[in-house]
Amino acid sequence: MERNQLPREVALMRQSLFDQGYVDEQFVQLEELQDETNPNFVEEVATLFYKDSARLLANIDQAMDRTPLDFTKLENYMQQFKGSCSSIGAKKVKHECTQFREYCRAGSTDGCMRTFQQMKREYSALRKKLETYFQLARQAGPSNTATRPR
């Protein structure tokens, strides 16, 4: 790819993250926190999110194997997870978390299981999208990532 095409590619990709509902306005908030001293802030937060949530998700996984499901515990786990999703603007994943918690409240094992799978899919999909995006953004150079207006 031509070097001079990169900025445009980055912008397009970024836009698609929003258009396709992967991220919401909180993502923009994070972008606003990027500046010269923190040029990769969004990527760092995203990385931290994935690293940190892996543990939580593993706990949820385990809890999902129990029978019967401990809905209260699951709901609490998911509450934490949802908080992180919300903080980074992970829109679709957050939506699945909300669904999951509703199924917990309804005591629906089936609903929980389905939603959990769906949530994991969204979680992975977002990660791939973000990885690609950040990589491209880095290649394009710091001037091409959204930064806080000075």
Partner 1 sequence: MATTSPVPWPRRLPEPQIHQAHVLAVDDSLVDRKVIEALLRVSSCKVTTVDSGRRALQFLGLDDERNEGGVMTGSSSSLKVDMIVTDYSMPGMTGYELLKRIKGSSEFREVPVVIMSSENINTRIDRCLEEGAEDYLVKPVKLADVRRIKDYMMMMREDGNEGRINKRKLRDGTDPSTSLNSSSASLIGSPCSDQQVLVSEQPQSSSSSSTLSPESQPPAHPESSDSPLDNHSTSLQTSQPPPQQSVSHSCLNKLESSDPNQSTTGDQIDGSVGS
Report long-range pairs for 13-21 (Cβ below 8 Å, ≥24 apart): 13/132, 13/133, 13/136, 14/133, 14/137, 14/146, 17/129, 17/130, 17/133, 21/91, 21/92
- CA distances to 23, 72, 109, 113, 141 from 91, in Å: 5, 24, 24, 20, 26
Nearer to partner 1, 8 or 141 (CB): 141
Which residues contact partner 1 by CB under 8 A?
26, 29-30, 32-33, 35-41, 44-45, 47-49, 52-53, 79-80, 82-84, 86-89, 148, 150
Shortest spacing between CB 84 and partner 1, in angstroms: 5
Q: Smaller CB distance to partner 1: residue 53 or 99?
A: 53
Cβ closest to partner 1, residue 84 vs residue 144: 84
- In whole angstroms, the minimum distance from the beta carbon of 22 to partner 1 comes to 16
